[in-house]
Structure 1
Amino acid sequence: MGTDSRERMVRSAAYLFRERGYSGTGFRDVIAHSGAPRGSIYHHFPGGKVQLAEDAVRYAGEFLNAGIEAAVEGRDAATAVDAFTGWWRQVLVKSEFRAGCPVAAVTVESHDEAPQLAAAAARAFDRWADTLATGLANAGVPDDRAARLARLIVASVEGATILCRAHRSVDPLDDVVRELKTLVTAAAG
């Protein structure tokens, strides 16, 4: 029951949360999806489903942040928005609008008995915004404006993915991208 099965379970939980949400994903689902040994879930996650979810949110946050870093590296502000949102577009289309953001899924279902879930989600969202803000600042957006625009980008894209799932169309995301690119291009001067 090594680290590999633990990592597979964390990745599987993040993947399943995208489509089923936190409440709709059970340990059995994670075991089946990951192919991990049945008894390994309690071995690796003695804190239960909350611990697994917290680790899945951390994993998803780091995974997406790596994509954001690549998107903003050495690019202008509008291209960074395209690169960041292009991944979401692929996820939505490939999943036939069944998959969204695992971090958002856990966030909306977090509860008072597990405040660490909301805290983990907040850290992921903040990290994405910080990375975007750095990229925007590097593209010429003043630092204080870059931070606000980065938070707007994260919030807009998260909201757009929900609308896309509801409408089964990428049109809401495309609309948001067009407006965000206009804003960041103007802000970069």
Structure 2
Amino acid sequence: MGTDSRERMVRSAAYLFRERGYSGTGFRDVIAHSGAPRGSIYHHFPGGKAQLAEEAVRYAGEFLNSGIVAAVEGGDPASAVEAFVGWWRQVLVKSEFRAGCPVVAVTVENNDDAPQLAAAAAAAFGRWQDTLATGLGNAGVADDRAARLARLIVAAVEGATILCRAHRDVAPLDDVVAELKEMTRAAVREAG
């Protein structure tokens, strides 16, 4: 029962939350999807489903943030928007619009019995915003404007992802991304 099975369970939980949500995903589903030994889930997650979900949200947050970081380091904030959206677009199309954001899935369900899930989701969203704001700041955008624009990017992309699922079409995401990239470029031009 090594960390490999633990990591597989965390990744599987994040994957399953994208399509089934927090309430619709049970330990049995995670075990079946990950191929981990049955008893290992209780060994690795003595805090139960909430602990597993918290770690899955952290994993998903870090996974997506790594793509944003790579684009931000390239120096073009509009590319960071594209990197942020590119993964969502792929997930939507590949899943035939059944999958969305695992962070949103955990956030929107009533988790009064597990407040750590809201905190983990807020941290993931905050990390994405910070990374995007850093890229904008590095391009010369004032810190307060960069922070607002980064929050708008995250909120708009998450909202567009939900619209894509409802319409079973990537057009809402494509429209939002085009506008966000233009706004980002305009903010950089104004700062220069």
TM-score when normalising by structure 2: 0.96
Deviates more, 1:33-42 or 1:102-111: 102-111
The equivalent of 2:180 in structure 1 is 180
The equivalent of 1:106 in structure 2 is 106
Q: Distance in 1 between matches of 2:121 and 2:110?
A: 9
Q: Distance in 2 between matches of 1:46 and 1:115?
A: 17
| Coordinate RMSD, CA, aligned | 0.9
* Aligned: 1:71 with 2:66: no
Question: Tell me, which stretches of 5 or more residues in structure 2 are unaligned?
Answer: none
Q: State the one-letter code of the partner of 1:18.
A: R
Contact kept in structure 1, 2:12 and 2:30, CA below 8 Å: yes
The equivalent of 1:158 in structure 2 is 158
Q: Distance in 2 between matches of 1:102 and 1:79?
A: 23
- How far the C-alpha of 1:99 sits from its partner, in A, is 0.8
Q: How many residues end up aligned between the 2 structures?
A: 189
After the TM superposition, which residues 34-183 of structure 1 pair with which residues of structure 2 at under 5 Å, given as runs?
34-183=34-183
Q: Distance in 2 between matches of 1:110 and 1:73?
A: 37
- How far the C-alpha of 1:75 sits from its partner, in A, is 2.9
- How far the C-alpha of 1:168 sits from its partner, in A, is 0.3
TM-score when normalising by structure 1: 0.97
- How far the C-alpha of 1:77 sits from its partner, in A, is 2.2
- How far the C-alpha of 1:63 sits from its partner, in A, is 0.7
- How far the C-alpha of 1:112 sits from its partner, in A, is 1.4
Per-residue CA shift, 1:35-83, capped at 9, x if unaligned?
0000111111111100000010011111111111012112322222122
